[in-house]
Every structure is written in structure tokens, then in C-alpha cells.
Amino acid sequence: MSAVRPSATDLAALHGAVLDWYAVNSRPLPWREPSCSPWGVLLSEVMSQQTPLGRVEPIWRQWMERWPTPAQLAAESPGEVVRAWGRLGYPRRALRLHEAAVVITERHDGEVPRHEADLRALPGIGDYTAAAVAAFAFGDRSVVVDTNVRRVQARAVSGVAQAAPSMTRAEVALAADLLPVDDEDAATWNVAVMELGALVCTARSPRCDDCPVVGRCAWVLGGRPAYDGPPRRGQKWHGTDRQVRGVIVQALRESPGPVLREALAPGRDEQQVDRCLAGLVEDGLVEPVGDEHFGLPGVEEVAG
């Protein structure tokens, strides 16, 4: 994918169009409120990974009410944290958040660190999340690149229908080139481009007529050529180990105590259940309790 950096004039026009659109059309999410703490921003970013925001918001509110600071989450048992994760998916994220809360409490006096390097050093926090927290919690001029940003860049600047299957260095460099110079504008630009990709410049049915940059979009001006890159394969779900792992964890969430192994995923292939249980135990999401019982981390032994 090739891209030519817009001229200073074009870049200023691009910034103005997107930022003005965002000021009117952004969704009123609680972690975007100026009063939201850096901890609240960090929670939202981890919870939102590969998860629709409509599912994230109620769980985020529950967590912020129950554990409004890292120290309060760190004091909770890992099992209860996994239970409170609900159906957000990828429950290892809950454990990593708990581990991050412990590190923040022990090494950063209970305050979310503001520098990207310190954020990246937290358990489960990668480049994207560190950059997002630096931008959205602290207003830093960091480069935040997610799937939506990549798609908007691909169309508006590079003139192709979709971004590459995996993020490239060129995409990150382009995102850095497109950042406004002003720190506050840069932080807003990051979230504005994400919002544009989520609401208008969508993957399957882009609403080009509603796009604030349709008149300067390289893809539209080029006749909206079809995607001709490597094939994109959808993720299979039904019958996969990931689905069975989810069934097991959900059964443990819904139980007040340990569950007999046979009751965790009835009707599933025994070898698959054993394989998934072994993986969950290795990941720290499930613990063996007594003979043939399993529970969330920190559960008590089976009585009698």
C-alpha cells in the first residue's frame, strides 16, 4: 500500500473536516468525559479490544463503581475479577487487568503511569493500549492506530478499499505523519478518526455520502476500486476450542463454588474439553479444586 502525505494545506483541511465532524457526531461514552480518570480510560481500552462498545459500557460502569481505583481492583481475588468480566470475551484480559492493577499499586503509588514506556511495561498492555491511554487520559501527542484508523487511512489517503490484513510499519508512519502538531488536537484526532471508521467508513457498507472527507478521499476519487489484496478469512466460532473455553468459564462464573468436571461442558467432545481445561489452567483462568472439580482462581476447596 502506497500513500502520499497530503500537503500542509490539504492536511489542515483534512484535520478541520474530521475534527468538526467529531465535535457534532461523537458518541457520548462515559470514558470520554473530561472527569473520567486515567484508570477509567485504561479499563475502557482493554475492555474494548475486539468487543463492541455497546457490550463494554455496562460492564465498564459496574467495574468503575466496584473498583474505581487500581488499588481496589488489586485487592480483589482474580476469580472474582474473571466472574465480573461477564460475557466480554477473551477473559484473559480480566486477569491481565488485575495484574496491571497490582503493578500500578505497588510500583506507581496507585496512579496509572502517564508515559508510554511505563504503560507498555504493565501486564497485558501493548503498543496500541499504551498509546491510547497516553492520548486519551493524558492528552499526549501519541500515535494511536487501530483497525478503524487503518481503514480510514487506507481509503482517504492511500486510495484502497481495505488496509492490509496485518498492520505494517508504513501504516504507523502514515498515522504519525497525519497527526496534528498541537497535542490536544492530536489526541482528539486519534479518537475522531476511530469514530469515523466505526460509524461511517465501515468495513462492509461505508456511508460515503455522510463522510466529512468524501470530497478529498483518494479511494472515492479513484472510483472506489475493489479490494485486491490477500484474501480475508472470517474467524470460525462454532465448535472451536475458543467456544468451548467460553462455555467452561461461563459455567464457573455462574456457580458460587467449584464445579464437577463433567458438568462444565456437557455434550462436548471429552478430549476437546480436557484440552480446553488444560489451556485454561495454564492461562491461570481456572484452577483444579480437589478431585474432578474446577473453579475460578482463588476458589475454596470442595467441602467433605
Cα gap 258→288, rounded to integer Å: 9
Q: What are the angstrom distances between the C-alpha of 241 and each of 104, 135, 236, 253, 280?
A: 33, 36, 10, 18, 11
Backbone φ, ψ for residue 293 (5° rounding): -120, 150
CA-based nearest residue to 228, from 177, 284, 164, 292: 164
Task: Tell me the CB-side half-sphere exposure of residue 50, using CA atoms within 13 A.
Answer: 7
- 235 CB-near residues (< 8 Å, 6+ apart): none
Identify whether 45 is a catalytic site residue.
yes
- 197 CB-near residues (< 8 Å, 6+ apart): 147, 148, 149, 151, 152
Cα gap 170→181, rounded to integer Å: 20
Residue 287 is classified by DSSP as: E
Cα gap 86→73, rounded to integer Å: 16
Of 45, 116, 195, 287, the active-site residue reads 45
Catalytic residues: 45
